[in-house]
Structure 1
Amino acid sequence: MKSVCNIAVELIKPRGAHSSAAARRLGGEMCKELKTKVLRLLPPTSNGPSVHQEGQTDGAEILNCTVKALKEGHVVGVPTDTIYGLACLAQNSEAVRKTYNIKGRNGQKPLAICVGEIQDIYKYCKVTVTKALLGDLLPGPVTLVFERSEVLNTDLNPFTLLVGVRIPDHAFMRRLCQMCAEPLALTSANISSHTSTVAVHEFQELWPKLAVVVDGGPIGDQSRLGSTVVDLSVLGKYRIIRPGCALLSTVDVLEHKYGLSEDFGEE
């Protein structure tokens, strides 16, 4: 008898026409039971709406299934514009603990949050820059670090007053955040200290611990560097925490367009 996880993998393999209907029915049953499952997003087409293909699942169905898993306190695997990530509801303390356990992550290493719209940042962060600057960097492969607001879950990164916030340039992730109507805690989909992942099979060892794995296909940027992380918590200054994949373009915006200066340690 096949395991739940092995059956789920079959949903994303090429398959014949005679088996696709059964696979879709199986996928629906697994979604209801919230067992580990892998669901492949439809690729956009160049001449109109996406067309259903064998072994793939409708984007609305995947969104609903993933939101259900998150709302019930589960951790999910998701694509972003940089690397694959693990996500849970940031306001759910138990889900945050699960995320650390799944990764084997040091409890003193922070998780970023992910939101769907720029205006959401103001609810969870004390923003020190203009909305125009936010709009020039987001959505995009950048994590902006600000002082956290009192609204954010105190069990998320309780050891620091700061929090990193992302809006990935990825339609599924933005819509997922919008449907959840609260921030997601987001971290890379890998065992801590292991290589970042750009395809779902690369973190297959984590699948049994996840409620949903959303297969968005291989991520185009193969650098595996993740987002550029920049601290903007001090007015008029910036500090690069992690160079990431968008360092030059981020620094260009911060310095040349908005006049921020680097390195705010010594005054």
Structure 2
Amino acid sequence: MKLVYNVAAALVKSRGFHSSAFARWLGTEMCKELKTKVLRLLPPTSNGPTLLDETDGAEILRCTVKALKESHVVAVPTDTIYGLACLAQNSEAIRKTYDTKGRNGQKPLAICVGEIQDIYKYCKVKVKRELLCDLLPGPVTLVFERSEELNTDLNPFTSLVGVRIPDHPFMRQLCQMCGEPLALTSANISSQTSTVEVHEFQELWPKLAVVVDGGPIGGQSRLGSTVVDLSIPGKYRIIRPGCALSPTVDVLEHKYGLSEHSGEK
């Protein structure tokens, strides 16, 4: 499997394959071996995130959406670490996601949406819209009370749900094309280190329909998003410090006047 991937990369470099042709070729080869498609996005620019052009991006998006709509689990790049994603409204896919990484069934999955307005459909928001716009898209997960629209099989043990809008064009477009939220968790075996390159979770590839390779991610801190509970009006609680703690707290306290609470309601 690793040999196929490395040979493909060498061919692209030496023969000048167009990346869409590379995506098709590599996908075909991986399907022969694993029935897993490994698709590479265009590399990041020097001053911005991974780009999606009209040909390659659309092709990879279509392939990933198709896999998601067929109840499969896929691996995707975000603005923090690599993630495993499935359709949040699909109970079978949620079960597969837990099985794929051996995750404790009492640990929640976050949801990922493409736009601020999507949050209001699946969450009961008790903060100003401006606060959402200040923190999202970005490396932050905001926790709210869940709405009745969200699949009851997703985190049935809690009335809360974390929601993300990663600052990553592929992820935002993927959510928009799916037309519903993705359930999202880190792409690693449960309790192991978070991953910032696709080869780091290669042992999971056989369980995935698509692996979207966006290259090495960001500063490679591996901390994941900062998780903040905003379910109590006027209060916030840090559930996970993550990679954006200081700027997040600064926005919550100094701009919006929220105070930290202990977690006890």
The AA in structure 2 aligned to 1:192 is: S
* CA deviation map 1:170-195 (0-9, x unaligned): 01000000000100000000000000
Q: Which residue of 2 aligns with 1:204?
A: 202
Root-mean-square deviation over aligned CA pairs = 2.7
Deviations 1:4-44 (A, max 9, x none): x7545644455421877975553464699992021110135
Instruction: Report the equivalent of 2:258.
Output: 260
Q: Is the 2:38–2:210 Cα contact (8 Å) retained in structure 1?
A: yes
Are residue 26 (structure 1) and residue 35 (structure 2) matched?
no
Report the TM-score when normalising by structure 1. 0.89
Give the aligned residue type for 1:38.
V
Counterpart of 1:142 in structure 2 is 140
Structure 2 residue aligned with 1:245: 243
Identity of aligned residues (%): 78
Deviations 1:152-176, CA, capped at 9 Å, x for gaps: 0000000000000000000100000
Q: Which residue of 1 aligns with 2:106?
A: 108
Residue correspondences, number = 259
Alpha carbons of structure 1 residues 24 and 247: separation in structure 2 relative to 1, 3 Å: closer
- TM-score normalised over the length of structure 2: 0.89
| Alignment partner, residue 76 of structure 2 | 78
| Cα offset, 1:146, TM superposition | 0.2
In structure 2, the CA distance between the partners of 1:92 and 1:51, relative to structure 1 (3 Å rule), is closer
Structure 1 residues not aligned, in runs of 5+ = none
Preserved CA contact (<8 Å) 1:45 1:51: no
* Equivalent residues in 2 for 1:86-165, closer than 5 Å: 86-165=84-163
CA distance in 2, matches of 1:117, 1:39: 25
Structure 2 vs 1, CA of residues 247 and 46 (structure 1 numbering), >3 Å: closer, same or farther? closer
Rounded Cα–Cα distance in structure 1 between residues aligned with 2:52 and 2:229: 42
Partners of 1:31 and 1:65 within 8 A in 2: no
Asked if 1:62 corresponds to 2:66, the answer is no
| Aligned partners of 1:12 and 1:39 also within 8 Å | no
Distance 1:51 1:126, change over 3 A: closer
Corresponding residue for residue 41 of structure 2? 41
Shift of 1:100: 0.2
CA distance in 2, matches of 1:179, 1:136: 24
Per the alignment, residue 232 of structure 2 pairs with 234
- SS of the equivalent of 1:163 reads strand
Q: 1:135 to 1:15 in 2, by over 3 A?
A: same
Which aligned runs of 4 or more in structure 1 are off by greater than 2 angstroms?
5-16, 18-35, 43-47, 49-52, 264-267
Equivalent-residue separation in structure 1 for 2:223 and 2:235 (angstroms): 24
Structure 1 counterpart SS, 2:117: helix
5+ residue gaps, structure 2, are none
Confirm or deny that 1:180 pairs with 2:185. Answer: no
Residues 134 and 6 (structure 1), Cα distance of their counterparts in 2 relative to 1, 3 Å cut: same
Q: Deviations over 1:91-110 (max 9, x none)?
A: 00000000000000000000
**Alpha-carbon distance in 2 for matches of 1:45, 1:228:** 25
Instruction: Verify the 8 A CA contact 2:226 2:242 in the aligned structure 1.
Output: yes
Q: Is the 8 A contact 1:12 1:40 kept in 2?
A: no
Q: 2:220 aligns with which of 215, 219, 222?
A: 222
Deviations 1:58-86, CA, capped at 9 Å, x for gaps: 11111110001001110000000000000
What CA deviation, in whole Å up to 9, does each residue of 1:39-59 have, x standing for no partner? Answer: 110135579x9699xxxx811
